Structure 1
Amino acid sequence: MKPRMVKVSAPGKVILSGEHAVVYGYPAILAAVDKRISIELDKAGKRVKPISLPKSGLLKYALKRTIGLTGINPGALRIKIDSRLPIGSGMGSSAALSVALVGAFYKLTRLPWDLKKINEIGYEIEKKQHGNPSGGDNTIATYGGFLWYRKEAENFKIFFPVKPKRRLGRIFLVNTGKPIETTGEMVSLVAERYKKNPEGVKKLLEAIANTTKSLLRYILEEEKSSLVGIFKENERYLEQLGVVSQKARKIIRMFERIGAGAKITGAGGKKDGSGMILIRHPDEEKIIKFAEDRNLDILSVRLGEEGVRVEKEI
């Protein structure tokens, strides 16, 4: 007997290292976090009824695309979202939404639970949102954990799961403000710099790639470096690349002065905010108090969390 209601969730993500360099064929490392989006599908509904959806347009498209790609129309549905992910923060909320919806659809219609196919449909939905996405966000939302990503060519991309040999504990996220620029504009900014100074920018991209490799060795416990040091080094290269605003730099320097490592995660921003920054410090309570004393919104996350999963089935 087919279930009448299912609830499926998928995680958000952070880019730990490799921003911008990944566009030029260098590696990036992504991590699934413990902030998730849940989708509840209920066949008892008389019509499709999105409830409190900041991304309702994407949701409707995602459902239509899933029906088209699977060839199964389950009829009228009621859809409910519960999101613990900040929207528009660069944490992969649209991919988590898409993957959770596809997973819920698969469970409700009794299709075999096939992560590869769920990921593929999630990627097709992401194209609507981002045009030419890397595929990293939907892949990490599907499989979870840590992901090594590298684009060898436009139609040949490597996604490789990284199995950590150490517990990375928690990191913190602080919002420096929503960037005025889009991701595409920030990518174009770096491209313009590359045209004007190819040797200089190439050296920066290679340096970012080296910090990504250091992070990989750290995760695999092959290197005794610290995440604080890796974040600091990575951030300096991103600042030299011109993708971190003065506003964000001031916040990052504040945290560095108390012994933290901090860096942007994502495309960044130049004129105002640069989006979320990642923060690592050996004393978690100190970081929380420091942020709260300065009225900064701080979010604590665990890294390497589970991918798409079934929460409830009735």
Structure 2
Amino acid sequence: MLYGIILSNIPIGQNLGSSAALCVSASAALLEFYTDRQFNKDAVNSVAYQAEKYFHKNASGVDVSTSCHGGLIYYRKEFEFLKTISALHQKLPKKFEDNLFLINSGKAMETTGDMVDRMGKLYNAKPEKTEKILNEIEKITKRMVVSVIKEDDVYFKKNISDNEILLEKLGVVSTRAIKLLKQLSSYGAGKMTGAGGIKQGSGFLIFYADKPQELIDFLNKQKITFYKFRQNQTGLQRL
């Protein structure tokens, strides 16, 4: 019988990729245990993606790729057999990192699979409208990359806001999360992360603060859980 101890400080079920991080670390550990050799990140990522499907039946693969490779990842999936995973080799500018926060809007009651199913039904019911929104989200993703490269924080913040508007149009953001974002709007701009949720919370929000200390004071006063954003370029590593 094989036993192990897992230590993690990633909140579970909050759209922050806790299951992906588990799949990546477990895949790397088991591959080495059974073969007595270390595998490269691409190999580990491939195995971890298959494991992630046991947690989320329609897993995209983006979470495991991010956990495995670290840094900024540009991910595009056309079909199951046609995916592009590219490391941008670009760090977030320090002024971006200093003003970014992860803010808890409340745990989503739905699983990632539930939300993916919901999106599938929406696409089948309103294909043209849904396709238009998804195309706009793709454009914003590309603009986000440009804003990072140019270190344009105004453009970066605008893309966050624009993305959130489109996510709300898709119906994947809860009323509770939308209300919280409106409360926080005087401090900056934010958007939902992950698959979202509509019944109660939508998990964690990524938030760019114009007034970081005022935001912190407000969140502490309201007893809202938050984390200061810190980027990691390493990804998977053997300790």
* TM-score, normalization by structure 2: 0.88
For residues 144 and 302 of structure 1, the distance between their equivalents in structure 2, rounded to whole angstroms, comes to: 12
- Any unmatched runs of 5+ in structure 1? 1-46, 50-78
One-letter amino acid of the counterpart of residue 269, structure 1? G
Deviations 1:192-244 (A, max 9, x none): 33333333222222221121111011122286643222111111111111111
Partner in structure 2 of residue 173 of structure 1: 102
For residues 27 and 172 of structure 2, the distance between their equivalents in structure 1, rounded to whole angstroms, comes to: 34
Partner in structure 1 of residue 49 of structure 2: 123
| Aligned mate of 2:189, from 255, 261, 271 | 261
| Aligned mate of 1:218, from 147, 152, 155 | 147
Deviations 1:101-160 (A, max 9, x none): 233345566403422222222222222222342222222111111111111222111111
| Aligned mate of 1:291, from 209, 214, 219 | 219
For residues 225 and 151 of structure 2, the distance between their equivalents in structure 1, rounded to whole angstroms, comes to: 34
Structure 1 residue runs of 4+, over 6 Å off? none
One-letter amino acid of the counterpart of residue 271, structure 1? K
Equivalences for 1:192-207 in 2 at 5 Å?
192-207=121-136
Partner in structure 1 of residue 68 of structure 2: 142
Shift of the 94–220 alpha-carbon distance from structure 1 to 2, 3 Å rule, reads: same
Partner in structure 2 of residue 158 of structure 1: 84
Contact 1:214–1:223 (CA under 8 A) maintained in structure 2: no
One-letter amino acid of the counterpart of residue 102, structure 1? S
Equivalences for 1:49-64 in 2 at 5 Å?
49=3
Q: Rg: which structure is higher? A: 1
Equivalences for 1:240-255 in 2 at 5 Å?
240-255=169-184
Partner in structure 2 of residue 281 of structure 1: 209
For residues 135 and 166 of structure 1, the distance between their equivalents in structure 2, rounded to whole angstroms, comes to: 22
CA-based RMSD: 2.2
Partner in structure 2 of residue 190 of structure 1: 119
Structure with more of its chain in helix, by fraction: 2
SS of 1:309's equivalent?
A: coil
* TM-score, normalization by structure 1: 0.68
For residues 211 and 186 of structure 2, the distance between their equivalents in structure 1, rounded to whole angstroms, comes to: 14
Q: Between Structure 1 and Structure 2, how many residues are aligned? A: 235
Q: Percent identity?
A: 33
How far off is 1:279 after superposition?
0.7
